[in-house]
Amino acid sequence: MNETIVKRPPWRVTFDGSFWHHPAGARSGQVLPLEKTFFWADRTWYLPAAYLCGQGLVLDLCTEAEPEAVRSFLDKWGPKEHRLTSLELTLIQAEHPLHMDLSPSLTVNGKIIGYPGGMGVGWYPHWDRNDREAQWLLEHYGLDPDKGWSIHRYCFPWATKRRPRRLSSLTLTLTPYPVPLPGPQFTVEGPGQQVSFVHPVTGQTHTLTVEEYEPQGEGDGQEDNGMIYPTRYVTLTYRLDPDLSQEAVILQDRAEGDKPYPKEPDPMAPQASCSVALFTLPEEPGLHAAASSLYFQPPKEVQWQMLLREKLHNDVTIPLL
Q: For residues 206 and 262, which has the higher predicted lDDT (pLDDT)?
A: 206
When pLDDT is cut at 50, 70 and 90, the band that residue 227 belongs to is confident
- pLDDT at residue 40 tops 80: yes
**Do 156 and 70 share a structural domain?**
yes
Q: For residues 291 and 4, which has the higher predicted lDDT (pLDDT)?
A: 291
On whether residue 6 sits in a domain, the answer given is no
**Do 226 and 150 share a structural domain?**
no
Residue 256 near residue 89, CB atoms below 8 Å: no
Residue-wise pLDDT for 86-139, tens only, equals 888 888 877 889 888 899 999 999 999 987 788 999 999 988 889 999 999 999
Residue-wise pLDDT for 138-163, tens only, equals 999 999 999 999 999 999 999 888 89
On whether residue 130 sits in a domain, the answer given is yes
**Do 271 and 160 share a structural domain?**
no
On whether residue 141 sits in a domain, the answer given is yes
User: What is the amino acid identity at position 5?
Assistant: I
On whether residue 160 sits in a domain, the answer given is yes
How far apart, in whole angstroms, are the C-alpha atoms of residue 300 and residue 31? Answer: 62
**Do 229 and 167 share a structural domain?**
no
Q: Which long-range contacts (CB under 8 A, 24 or more apart) does 156-160 make?
A: 156/56, 156/57, 156/58, 156/59, 156/106, 156/108, 156/113, 156/114, 156/115, 156/116, 157/55, 157/56, 157/113, 157/116, 158/55, 158/56, 158/57, 158/108, 158/113, 159/108, 159/111, 159/112, 159/113, 160/111
Total domains in the chain come to 2
pLDDT in the model for residue 102: 92
Residue-wise pLDDT for 1-26, tens only, equals 445 677 889 999 999 989 999 999 89
- pLDDT at residue 269 tops 70: no
- pLDDT at residue 247 tops 60: yes
pLDDT in the model for residue 276: 53
pLDDT in the model for residue 265: 67
Domain span at 131 = 30-178+313-319
How far apart, in whole angstroms, are the C-alpha atoms of residue 236 and residue 290? Answer: 5
**Do 207 and 134 share a structural domain?**
no
How far apart, in whole angstroms, are the C-alpha atoms of residue 66 and residue 39? Answer: 14
CATH number for the domain harbouring residue 38: 2.60.40
Q: Which residues pair with 119 in a beta bridge?
A: 153
How far apart, in whole angstroms, are the C-alpha atoms of residue 235 and residue 254? Answer: 14
Using DSSP bridges, classify how beta strands 43-52 and 111-113 pair: parallel, antiparallel or unpaired.
unpaired
**Do 174 and 37 share a structural domain?**
yes
On whether residue 283 sits in a domain, the answer given is yes
On whether residue 82 sits in a domain, the answer given is yes
Q: Mean of the pLDDT values across residues 168-189?
A: 95
On whether residue 13 sits in a domain, the answer given is no
**Do 268 and 163 share a structural domain?**
no
**Do 81 and 49 share a structural domain?**
yes
The mean predicted confidence, pLDDT, of the chain is: 89
**Do 207 and 150 share a structural domain?**
no
How many CB atoms lie under 10 A from the CB of residue 148?
A: 25
